[in-house]
């Protein structure tokens, strides 16, 4: 609307808006009752008089002077693309721009998009940009994992200390956690699966199983050292005896999650990374633990070690 032209004819903006609403969109002027049903009685121009831009420009508005002024004399009428619906949140209008990520992980894709948008898009005054949706959920989950992982590791160390009454054996078992993510990461790489929150939770579960495997092996080695003066013979005997329970623990977890790791059905996208990490991690952790843990034990073991009777 051109306010200068409207003032020339002493026509208010609200009068122009009412005329457009009545002629084009329709305006309720009364109500019809049919039994208990209520219907608005709406009046508007017939279709031949409101279809084109020229038709709308010929809509007449009565000025206070009695003159009938066409809408084209008061407004700039043109066709433009606009919002089909206006969304509001927290008393503010917003427009949702959605896109999906394929062939890349979500985090790096959105970070690249944020960098490009910040460099190339200059928002007008009063506009703000917020990256939400699945990316925001992932960021919140990563922040929680950053807090949960150190607490989990600390609790594992305390539990191991209560089991062995020795920080040496506790830290030795914790050293095997360094090998746990290797198989999980390799499994993600081979299967082309991107690291996600589900994968991170799988890593936590993998840590727990790896600690259990290390605890079993250390227990058997310590038991083999009772009455055996040769530490190396005790290490070999304990590692061999622990192989069967270790293998049983890993096979149960691996075979139980193998169907989920191979699944591509609907809904499997959130479960498959979790299962892939555990299956791949346990497969390699079995071989690495059998070699690495006895070797590290032999390096730190001393004849006067406190092994107890546990």
pLDDT per position in the chain (310 positions), as tens?
889 989 989 999 998 999 899 898 898 989 999 988 999 999 999 988 888 999 999 999 989 888 899 999 999 988 888 767 788 888 888 888 888 887 777 778 888 899 999 899 998 888 888 888 888 887 888 788 788 878 888 888 888 888 777 778 888 888 777 777 888 888 888 888 777 777 878 887 888 888 888 888 888 888 888 877 788 888 888 888 888 888 887 788 788 887 777 777 776 676 788 888 888 888 777 777 778 888 888 888 877 776 655 4
pLDDT of residue 310: 43
pLDDT tens digits, residue range 174-188? 877 777 788 888 888
Domain covering 140-300 assigned CATH 1.10.1380.10 in the classification: no
pLDDT of residue 92: 85
User: Distance between CA 221 and CA 231 in Å, rounded?
Assistant: 9
User: Distance between CA 302 and CA 308 in Å, rounded?
Assistant: 14
- Give the CATH fold of the 3-73 domain: 3.30.2090
The string of DSSP codes covering 55-105 is HHHT-EEE-TTS-EEEGGGT---------SS-EEETTEEE--------SS-
Could you count the other beta carbons within 10 Å of the beta carbon of residue 178? 11
User: Distance between CA 109 and CA 183 in Å, rounded?
Assistant: 25
Alpha helices in the chain (DSSP H): 3-8, 13-20, 53-57, 106-120, 134-164, 167-175, 180-191, 197-225, 231-262, 272-300
CA angle 51, 56, 62 (to 5 degrees): 140
Long-range contact pairs involving 103-111 (C-beta distance under 8 Å, separation at least 24):
104/194, 105/194, 105/195, 105/196, 106/134, 106/135, 106/138, 106/194, 106/196, 107/135, 107/138, 110/135
Domain with CATH 3.30.2090.10 in the chain: 3-73
Domain with CATH 1.20.1640.10 in the chain: 140-300
């Amino acid at each position: 609307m051109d306010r200068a032209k409207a003032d020339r004819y002493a026509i208010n903006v609200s009068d122009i808006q009412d005329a457009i609403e009545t002629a084009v969109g329709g305006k309720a002027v009364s109500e019809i009752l049919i039994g208990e049903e209520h219907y608005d009685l709406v009046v508007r121009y017939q279709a031949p008089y409101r279809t084109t831009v020229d038709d709308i420009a010929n809509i007449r508005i009565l000025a206070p002077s009695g003159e009938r002024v066409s809408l084209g004399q008061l407004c700039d009428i043109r066709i433009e693309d606009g919002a089909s619906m206006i969304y509001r949140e927290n008393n503010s209008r917003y427009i949702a721009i959605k896109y999906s990520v394929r062939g890349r992980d979500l985090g790096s894709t959105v970070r690249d998009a944020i960098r490009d948008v910040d460099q190339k898009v200059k928002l007008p005054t009063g506009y703000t940009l917020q990256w939400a949706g699945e990316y925001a959920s992932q960021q919140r989950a990563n922040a929680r994992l950053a807090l949960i992982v150190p607490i989990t590791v600390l609790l594992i160390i305390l539990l191991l200390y209560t089991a062995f009454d020795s920080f040496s054996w506790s830290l030795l078992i914790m050293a095997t956690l360094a090998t746990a993510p290797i198989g999980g990461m390799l499994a993600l790489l081979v299967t082309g699966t991107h690291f996600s929150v589900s994968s991170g939770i799988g890593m936590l579960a993998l840590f727990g199983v790896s600690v259990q495997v290390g605890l079993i092996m250390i227990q058997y080695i310590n038991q083999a050292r009772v009455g055996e003066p040769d530490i190396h013979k005790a290490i070999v005997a304990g590692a061999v005896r622990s192989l069967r329970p270790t293998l049983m623990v890993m096979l149960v977890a691996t075979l139980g999650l193998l169907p989920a790791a191979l699944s591509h059905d609907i809904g499997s996208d959130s479960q498959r990374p979790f299962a892939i990490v555990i299956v791949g991690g346990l497969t390699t952790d079995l071989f690495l633990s059998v070699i690495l843990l006895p070797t590290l034990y032999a390096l730190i073991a001393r004849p006067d070690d406190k092994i107890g009777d546990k």
